[in-house]
Amino acid sequence: MSLRPRFSPIEAAPARLPADHAPDADLAFPGLDPEWSRLVRAKTDDGARTFHVLDTGPALAARGITPTGTILAVHGNPTWSYLWRSVLSASLERATQGSAWRVIAPDQLDMGFSERLAHPVAPAPDAPSYRQLQTRLGDLDALMDALDVKTSTLVTLGHDWGGVISLGWAVRQRGQVDAAITLNTAVDHPTDEPVPAALRAAMAPAALPAATVTTEAFLRVTLGQAEETLPAAVREAYRAPYTSRSGRGGIGGFVADIPALSSHGSRACLQDVSAGLLEWDKPTLLLWGPKDPVFQDRYLADLQARVPHADLHRFEGAGHMLVEDRDIAAPLFTWLDDHFDAGGANAAAAEATHPASDAATKPAAGPVRDSLRSPEPAGTVLGLHEQLSSLSSSARRRDAAVVDMTAEPEAWSTAEDAATGNRALSWEELAGQVDALAVGLRATGVRRGDRVSLLVQPGNSLTVILYACLRLGAVAVVADAGLGVRGMTRAVRSARPDWIIGAQPGLTLARSLGWPGKRISAQTLTARRQRLLGTVASVESLLSRHEGETPENEPQPGADDPAAVLFTSGSTGPAKGVVYTHARLGALVALLVEQFDIRPGASLIAGFAPFALLGPAIGATSVTPEMSVTKPATLTAQAVADAALAGGASMFFGSPAALRNVVATAAELSALQRRALGEISLVLSAGAPVHPDLLNAVQSIFPAAEIHTPYGMTEGLLQADIERREVLDAMTTGQPGVCVGSAVRGVRFALAPLDSTGVPAEELVDPADAVGVLGEIVVSAAHLKAGYDRLWFTDRTSRRDTHDGLLWHRTNDIGHFDAESRLWIEGRLQHVLTTAAGPIGPGTVETPVDALSEVARSAAVPVGPQGTQAVVVIVEPESEPKSERIPLRAGRSPVAGVSFAARVRATVPEIQIAAVLVLDELPTDVRHNSKIDRTRLAGWAEQVLAGEKVGTP
């Protein structure tokens, strides 16, 4: 395909890396094949110019491969085409496996190894000494004419100011360009806002020459933006074109061409680009490093507003040098295959990942999508707001709906008093407050589809706020404080809420850290505090002002509308936002009611935040016990008993960490409190596998209760279930891991068996056909997530399967199924130990080791190269070991004593354990206090065994 041909193609110069600006002719360029390098002469708007280009076209032709399409990759400042070496390399590697993409990565004029331009000392006012945006767009016209590209598909790719140029060129050539991909960039900057501080200093007229041209300061600072320090050879490769002052003229010119002011010569062209993107309807992919100090999330938000149909993947932890921080080639080429491998399985699977509500803005992938489905839900599906409305109008309307034991505890002399005071809201009162607040939020400006971050502790207030948001069709963003300040900041900035509703501590944090969103306080604040926190309203004032009003004219949200973004625990990496629609939350409620036979009059003590919020929807009085939400292990037996007395509770839900502390504090229960716990008929615990010994201890405290340990995750809160007696029976079979039971109604399981290197198979198998086989657990259900928020590639890879015509989610959990179709969890995929004898899950070792009387918890971690990893066991001893005759270790050394190490090895004689170490306390995730941080422990164990460290992880 020839783009606007203006003259005959020009013969390219011999392939070589020119040395005009690289004095060291022997300089290595890691990852760059000289075969890709060529010089191209092209006729630009100001005469014939020589471009240096990295181009895989000749390499594909030499192999007899016809390209599927062409990627035009444009670098920014102060990099050069070397930036794209991983994309060029991956394009050739993939060419023999399927679609073949030619990658053309030019050095912009005055940059890299392309021709240098004159920079007059005293340029004329109408002839600036730097190349302007509109001219650089013309440069791409000239280059592509000269190359005479002849492929059916053309895609642009850009980064930094190369992102602006590539997007601008795509808009200008919209008839020829089929898709656009960009990394961190900006296509608009309000003239009344300052540019980011990281760029401001270099742009100052007095500082610009010294920062960019006469010294390497700007270059070095940019290269220093990589997450990890770049290898010396890579840094030198980036520096190679810019080792002299004359070679750096283009760096200064690019900075000078930033059109931050309305009077800037390139401002009109930038506005044309940004305006053109509002009409851009081609497939678009945004790959983003959120730690970029220049191209911040506000620029990403602007791009999303202009191109709302764009797919987005945020690489948490990565920054400006995203290409160096992460593998962008995998998502890039997967996305291209999905969109341009017409009729292929990949395209069908990718389209299936988009919720139905996205159908109008996503490219079609053929008829396959219509045949993909989820299993039928367990019962009748209603929106959560509809469930609440139904319950509030029933005969139970004056019964307690929610009871908050965390509110003003000093105001109550006994737990029984709480149920009659303002700690409790009846169903009628709860529905009335939800309606009033929905009206108030609508009057304040909250609209359907707006994202609302909830920074309120679980309790009555949070319940009212959540259901008011759901009634309006606003999307609740829930990232609990257990993530810590850093994790919360990542989560909120990732979700980018329009509104924040919070108590004073949360709002103070939001203000100090610059979290996005207009702020609404939970309580009424003084005028001074309102100014300090920047709030526009308060929940209390809105409830008072709109008491008795109902949102009658507000349409009900649709089943496929997004309802919530719930963030994962962050225990195995940065927390991910999990998107639920109203229908999927409704399916979850229907399942809970069915599975646990919840009937009118039921009351739930919610020691786990999600169930505190779901309580009203399942028709159970929801009692929030007194505890620290960030530390589940602070829940005491007394707090559970007081909550049971206050709410007449029949059910209790707590994490394993909470259960351990309930057991530990049970001796302090009064006779009244013990009687209250004796009325509990159902105890649920999830969040991590629960050992049978703990279940037995819990049974002694709740003697009348059935104790269940359901299996699930944030992406699907209930998948399997098992009762304590079944657990004890299953454990007698001696199988590795922890048995979490059988699939609940409406759930289908499949398995992706692991190969010898611990990699799960692409093809799924039915559990009945793979009894005892270790693999990744894969699940399909109507109440699963609708997707991952702003993590296109993660969502794509987690839902890439179409086994049996269903949509599937890869859980990242590993385990096996037994002959009774029960699921045994053996750990997480990233914690697999790849030994010389084959892969094993950590649970294979940990379950029997945990049964030792001296051991509270254990972790099996790998040390050494993949495929021949050694197994190291790290144990946390019981606070009062039952066997004083066997010391766990000598002195304070982390290495276990010989006798104890022998006992550990004897629990799994079929596995060779290289070492046994002891820690006073195993590190866990901050949210559940239950999931052991095995990655951290593996690094610590490697240092200990190398003699480098003997302290704590």
**Nearest CA among 63, 52, 80 for reference residue 146:** 52
**Nearest CA among 277, 251, 52, 265 for reference residue 163:** 277
Whether residue 12 is predicted with pLDDT greater than 50 in this model: the reply is no
Can you give the pLDDT at residue 773?
A: 96
Q: In the beta sheet, which residues pair with residue 349?
A: none
Whether residue 220 is predicted with pLDDT greater than 50 in this model: the reply is yes
CA torsion sign for 710, 712, 717, 719 is: negative
Tell me which residue has tokens 């008093």: 417
489/511 Cα distance (integer angstroms) = 11
Average pLDDT over residues 339-354: 45
DSSP label of 190? -
Q: Please provide residue 601's backbone torsions phi and psi, each rounded to the nearest 5 degrees.
A: 100, -10
Tell me which residue has tokens 């197994």: 871
Q: Which CATH number fits domain 737-831: 3.90.550.10, 2.60.450.10, 2.60.120.10, 2.30.38.10?
A: 2.30.38.10
Residues of the chain with CATH 3.30.300.30: 832-953
- Cα→Cα distances 121→129, 130, 201, Å: 8, 11, 22
Which helix (H) or strand (E) covers residue 792, if one does?
helix 792-798
pLDDT tier for residue 861 given thresholds of 50, 70 and 90: very high
Are residues 259 and 270 in contact, defined by beta-carbon separation less than 8 angstroms? yes
Can you give the pLDDT at residue 190?
A: 82
Tell me which residue has tokens 């501080």: 197
Average pLDDT over residues 405-413: 52
| CA atoms within 13 Å, Cβ hemisphere of 313 | 22
- When comparing pLDDT for 170 and 365, which is higher? 170
Whether residue 28 is predicted with pLDDT greater than 90 in this model: the reply is no
Average pLDDT over residues 646-654: 90
Tokens at 226, concatenated? 């990589």
pLDDT tier for residue 261 given thresholds of 50, 70 and 90: confident
Can you give the pLDDT at residue 381?
A: 83
**Nearest CA among 812, 796, 358, 308 for reference residue 581:** 358
Name the percent of the chain in helix, strand, coil, to the closest 5.
35, 20, 40
Distance of CA 674 to the CA centre of its chain: 42
- 641-642-643-647 Cα dihedral, nearest 10 degrees: 110
How is 393-410 classified by DSSP, letter by letter? Answer: TSTTTTSEEEEETTS-GG
613/625 Cα distance (integer angstroms) = 13
Distance of CA 587 to the CA centre of its chain: 23
**Nearest CA among 509, 518, 497, 513 for reference residue 453:** 497
Q: Please provide residue 831's backbone torsions phi and psi, each rounded to the nearest 5 degrees.
A: -105, 10
Average pLDDT over residues 533-543: 97
Can you give the pLDDT at residue 409?
A: 42
- Cα→Cα distances 145→40, 47, 138, 580, Å: 11, 14, 11, 48
Tokens at 189, concatenated? 């900057």
Strands 535-538 and 870-877: unpaired
Sequence-distant (≥ 6) Cβ neighbours of residue 781 within 8 angstroms: 374, 375, 587, 716, 719, 746, 747, 748
Can you give the pLDDT at residue 394?
A: 63
727/690 Cα distance (integer angstroms) = 10
Whether residue 7 is predicted with pLDDT greater than 60 in this model: the reply is no
Burial 720-735 (b: 16+ CB within 10 A, else e): bbbebebbeebeeeeb
Dump strand ranges (E) for 45-198.
47-55, 69-74, 101-106, 154-158, 179-182
Whether residue 392 is predicted with pLDDT greater than 50 in this model: the reply is yes
Whether residue 677 is predicted with pLDDT greater than 50 in this model: the reply is yes
89/95 Cα distance (integer angstroms) = 10
Whether residue 775 is predicted with pLDDT greater than 90 in this model: the reply is yes
**Nearest CA among 221, 229, 232 for reference residue 29:** 232
The model's pLDDT over 904-949, given as tens digits with 9 standing for 90+, comes to: 999 999 999 999 999 988 887 644 445 788 888 999 999 888 888 6
Residues of the chain with CATH 3.40.50.1820: 34-342
The model's pLDDT over 419-464, given as tens digits with 9 standing for 90+, comes to: 444 578 998 899 999 999 999 999 999 999 999 999 998 889 999 9
pLDDT tier for residue 552 given thresholds of 50, 70 and 90: confident
Strands 499-502 and 833-835: unpaired
Whether residue 368 is predicted with pLDDT greater than 50 in this model: the reply is no
Can you give the pLDDT at residue 441?
A: 98
Looking at 514-581, list the stretches that DSSP marks H as alpha helix, in order from N- to C-terminal side. 527-533, 539-545
Can you give the pLDDT at residue 391?
A: 66
Can you give the pLDDT at residue 629?
A: 63
Mean pLDDT score of the chain, rounded to an integer?
86
Q: Quote the percentage of the chain above a pLDDT of 90.
A: 62
Whether residue 80 is predicted with pLDDT greater than 60 in this model: the reply is yes
Can you give the pLDDT at residue 389?
A: 72
250/231 Cα distance (integer angstroms) = 25
557/581 Cα distance (integer angstroms) = 10
The model's pLDDT over 313-330, given as tens digits with 9 standing for 90+, comes to: 999 999 999 999 999 999
774/751 Cα distance (integer angstroms) = 8
Can you give the pLDDT at residue 487?
A: 87
Tokens at 528, concatenated? 């001074």
Can you give the pLDDT at residue 887?
A: 65
pLDDT tier for residue 349 given thresholds of 50, 70 and 90: very low
Helix (H, G, I), strand (E, B) or coil at 551: coil
- 762-844-719-694 Cα dihedral, nearest 10 degrees: -170
The model's pLDDT over 126-146, given as tens digits with 9 standing for 90+, comes to: 556 789 999 999 999 999 999
Can you give the pLDDT at residue 927?
A: 46
Can you give the pLDDT at residue 415?
A: 39
Residues of the chain with CATH 2.30.38.10: 737-831
Can you give the pLDDT at residue 410?
A: 38
Strands 154-158 and 69-74: parallel
Which helix (H) or strand (E) covers residue 904, if one does?
helix 898-907
Sequence-distant (≥ 6) Cβ neighbours of residue 680 within 8 angstroms: 605, 644, 649, 650, 651, 652, 702, 704, 705
CATH architecture of the region 832-953: 2-Layer Sandwich (3.30)
Distance of CA 827 to the CA centre of its chain: 20
324/322 Cα distance (integer angstroms) = 5
The model's pLDDT over 682-706, given as tens digits with 9 standing for 90+, comes to: 999 877 777 788 899 999 999 999 9
Q: Which CATH number fits domain 34-342: 3.40.109.10, 3.20.20.150, 3.40.50.1100, 3.40.50.1820?
A: 3.40.50.1820
| CA atoms within 13 Å, Cβ hemisphere of 7 | 12
DSSP label of 21? T
Q: Quote the percentage of the chain above a pLDDT of 70.
A: 88
Tell me which residue has tokens 């181009």: 55
Can you give the pLDDT at residue 744?
A: 96
Can you give the pLDDT at residue 358?
A: 35
Whether residue 17 is predicted with pLDDT greater than 60 in this model: the reply is no
- For the beta carbon of residue 389, count every other beta carbon within 10 angstroms: 18
Average pLDDT over residues 178-190: 94
Tokens at 891, concatenated? 């002195």
Are residues 777 and 813 in contact, defined by beta-carbon separation less than 8 angstroms? yes
The model's pLDDT over 565-596, given as tens digits with 9 standing for 90+, comes to: 999 877 667 889 999 999 999 999 999 999 99
How is 113-134 classified by DSSP, letter by letter? Answer: TSPP----SS--TTS-SS--HH
pLDDT tier for residue 195 given thresholds of 50, 70 and 90: confident
Which helix (H) or strand (E) covers residue 337, if one does?
helix 329-340
**Nearest CA among 512, 507, 511 for reference residue 523:** 507
Whether residue 345 is predicted with pLDDT greater than 60 in this model: the reply is no
pTM of the entire structure?
A: 0.86
Q: Please provide residue 268's backbone torsions phi and psi, each rounded to the nearest 5 degrees.
A: -65, -40
Tokens at 765, concatenated? 């198998």
